[in-house]
Structure formats: structure tokens, C-alpha cells
Amino acid sequence: MSHYLLIYRRSTGDLQEIHDLGSDRKAALSYRFEREQQQSADPDVEVVLLTAASREALNRTHARYFKDRRELATDVAAVLPH
């Protein structure tokens, strides 16, 4: 399993950065805390550490970070009853 660090701007839905940090959880957490401190002045920025078997799995399980608002709305509409 790999740890992925994401830097996400909430107001726009933009994924600003993604880093594959490998399998070392302690190092990944340390990097996450470092990046959170760097971004702490901006409450609109979300620093997220996620774990997944692959980048493709991460895209499936946490789509909101990778799709724009229109794509997400289309996905939601597709599963709602008509």
C-alpha cells in the first residue's frame, strides 16, 4: 500500500498537488504534518493523506479530489432514481 499526499483547494475543487510517498507510514505522516504547517494560514486548503493499493484505486475511492464539479454532478445524477 502506498500513501498519497494531496493538496486540495476546497472553494474551487482543484487538486493542486499529489505526491506518492511510498509505503513508509511514519515518513508519510511526518511529511503531512510539515505540509499542514506550511498551509495553515489558508483555511481553504485541505492537506490529505490517503492510503491505497494504487493511484487508480485512489481515483475510484476518492473521486471528489480528481473530478471536477460537473463530472461529480453527472456521477450523482446517474445513480439517483428518475
Query: What is the C-alpha to C-alpha distance for residues 42 and 64, in angstroms, rounded to an integer?
Result: 20
User: Residue 56 contacts by C-beta under 8 Å, 6 or more apart in sequence?
Assistant: none
Domain boundaries, the chain: 2-79
Kindly write down the DSSP assignment for every residue of 19-63, as one continuous string: EE--S-HHHHHHHHHHHHHHHTT-TTEEEEEEEESSHHHHHHHTG
Per-residue tens of pLDDT for the chain, all 82 residues? 999 999 999 998 899 999 999 999 999 999 999 999 999 999 999 999 999 999 999 999 998 898 887 887 888 888 888 7
Please tell me the pTM assigned to this model. Answer: 0.84
- What is the pLDDT at residue 50? 98
Contact assessment for residue 56 and residue 20, using Cβ atoms and an 8 Å cutoff: no
